[in-house]
Structure 1
Amino acid sequence: MDLNTLAQFLVVARLEHLSRAADELRVAQPSLSRTIARLEAELGTPLFDRAGRLRLNDAGRLFREHAERALGELDAGRRAVAEAAGDGFGTVRLASETFLTFTAPLAAFKRAHPSIEVELRQTPAGEMARALRAQEVDLCVASQPVLADGLASARLLDEPVWVAAPLGHPLAERASVTVPELAGEPFITARKGHWQRRLLDRLFAARDLTPRIVCEGDEPGAIAELISAGLGIGLVPGIARRAAFQPPAAWIAVDDPDCRRALTLYWGAGARLSAAARLLRATIAEWDWTSGEPRA
């Protein structure tokens, strides 16, 4: 069993598709298939179910966790040595569902530490635990819970989520609205998996309702523009009201205590964070999200 075998196994495990994995790895599919077969023979058990579509089985999921940690530790070791040898802070890797929220703290961090390279990765919340466990990233920020063992966290912000509506919309003059009153309204929202979509679905499902979605996308800025243009309404976090540039819209409170989001910073509880990662963690954790400035 060598490092290349482990790396190839992790790609196959992630994609659960041999030909796509072979394309990503730029190897021949028969060669990749033989590599996986040799690994299974060495471990003495299949790692995938092959009835129909390739699926990672229980043994494969168990082995994947160990393989991710092993390769992650090796990469962390290489980074630690490079950091020590270079007598500098190196690189820090941050994953988030969106980076619109982080423009100000990241800019402040870069001004304070210009020699540190910051790598940003847009990552769904469902992938964050695996990325931290594999040490593909140092820090993650999510607007929905990341439920996994071995993670440490710091709550950054807990805020209400509002309904944004076009100016002139029948709801625009309202101070608040209930979820049933939103039934039948055209919603512009993010794709499934994003925190805004999960919150929307959860609020409606609690009342046996289904939101009427007329547009779903991945760009929060575009969603706000489409709402302002009159194509529908949408859920928008309170922090967006303090953005320097935002399309004109009416903000209406939702009369439901669950219509909130919690912004949370995560990192591996047992991971040795680099100096760069510790500095960025402190910058983010100590940021005043209400004023948009560092805490005094």
Structure 2
Amino acid sequence: MDLPALRTFQVVARHEHISRAAAELRVAQPAVSRTIARLEAGLGVLLFDRQGRSVRLNRYGAAFLRRVERALGELDDARRELADAAGLDQGRVAVAAETLLTLSSLLSAFRAAHPGVEIRLRQSTAEVMRRQLAAREVDFCVASQPLRGAGLRSVVLMEEDVLLAVPVGHPLAGRGRVRLEDVMDEPFVTTRAGHWQRELLDRLFAAAGRTPVVTCEGDEPAATQFLIGAGLGIGLIPALARNETAEAPVHWLRLDAPDCRRTLSLVRRADTYVSTAERHFAAAAVAHFARRGRADH
């Protein structure tokens, strides 16, 4: 049993598919299968139930995975701690967010201040973020909805109003604010289920006993404003985006609805070593969004 075999097992367990695991590991599928077979032979039990190239963790595999993730996590923490102590490098930070546009200006400033730090980005829904933190695939998540789970620590970066964007020329465009009742039958441009914009939209309508009319949904929240500007419908957009994509031809209104706000948080595991690079990133994120929040008021 060696570290490469354990990391191969971890990736196969995450995907529960040999081909996808091999693609991530950048090795041939037969090599992955042989590694898992040798590991099982050494342990004396099968870790997966086979279904062609798809595999499913059985109860032995699930128990083993918990120990493997703990052990590999400790080794990764040790490597980063020793690198910090010896000054061997300037580190790496992996970050997930629902839309990467939220991070663009932060990352520009951070890279200028810390050019030696490697940044890895993932675009993920809240549910995927929880899994990525659990598997230590990312160090931080910039989340627009609560990430609930044991062992997670959150810091609020900013709170902001969520506005209603309508196309220029829309009958509501001349108004400063509207009630939810005024837009019940309007077509909405939004994200797929799992993204915070869709969660907020569904929650607001459910409180009124209705279901929104969704005419366009996707996985890129940053595209919503431009699709609204193209006349496909209306939609909920955070106030922050009003300044970041000001060229989109939309009109902004206040929606008189309770809790029509977004709380942006920086989330990490509470049980992992925080490297120097990660401490710098967390401090930069807090300072950056504090400035953005002051600028918007």
* TM-score range normalised by the length of the shorter chain: 0.7 to 0.9
Tell me how far 1:185 sits from its aligned partner.
1.7
**What amino acid does structure 2 have at the position aligned with 1:149?**
A
- State the partner residue of 2:175: 174
- Cα contact 1:162–1:237 (8 A) shared by 2: yes
Instruction: State, as a whole percentage, how many aligned pairs show the same letter.
Output: 54
- State the partner residue of 2:21: 21
- State the partner residue of 2:69: 68
Change (3 A) 1:40 1:148: farther
Change (3 A) 1:18 1:115: closer
CA distance in 2, matches of 1:204, 1:49: 43
Change (3 A) 1:107 1:234: same
For structure 2, the 5+ residue unaligned runs are: none
CA distance in 2, matches of 1:19, 1:256: 47
Residue by residue, what CA displacement relative to the aligned partner does 1:6-40 show, whole Å, maximum 9, x if unpaired?
22222222222234334444556566456545655
Q: Kindly report the root-mean-square deviation, in angstroms, between the aligned alpha carbons of the 2 structures.
A: 2.9
**What amino acid does structure 1 have at the position aligned with 2:251?**
A
CA distance in 2, matches of 1:101, 1:27: 34
Change (3 A) 1:157 1:31: same
- State the partner residue of 1:219: 220
State the TM-score, normalizing by the size of structure 1: 0.84
Q: Does 1:291 align with 2:290?
A: no
- State the partner residue of 1:260: 261
For structure 1, the 5+ residue unaligned runs are: none
Tell me how far 1:227 sits from its aligned partner.
0.7
Tell me how far 1:278 sits from its aligned partner.
0.4
- Cα contact 2:99–2:222 (8 A) shared by 1: no
Change (3 A) 1:258 1:74: same
Q: How does 1:151-230 map to 2 (within 5 A)?
A: 151-230=152-231
**What amino acid does structure 1 have at the position aligned with 2:178?**
V
Residue by residue, what CA displacement relative to the aligned partner does 1:131-183 show, whole Å, maximum 9, x if unpaired?
33333322221101111111111111122212110011122223333334323
Moved more, 17-26 or 68-77: 17-26
- Cα contact 1:18–1:29 (8 A) shared by 2: yes
CA distance in 1, matches of 2:57, 2:212: 34
Tell me how far 1:95 sits from its aligned partner.
2.0
**What amino acid does structure 1 have at the position aligned with 2:182?**
E
Tell me how far 1:74 sits from its aligned partner.
2.0
- Cα contact 2:159–2:293 (8 A) shared by 1: no
CA distance in 1, matches of 2:251, 2:192: 23
Change (3 A) 1:256 1:57: farther
- State the partner residue of 1:96: 97
- Cα contact 1:190–1:197 (8 A) shared by 2: yes
CA distance in 2, matches of 1:88, 1:25: 24
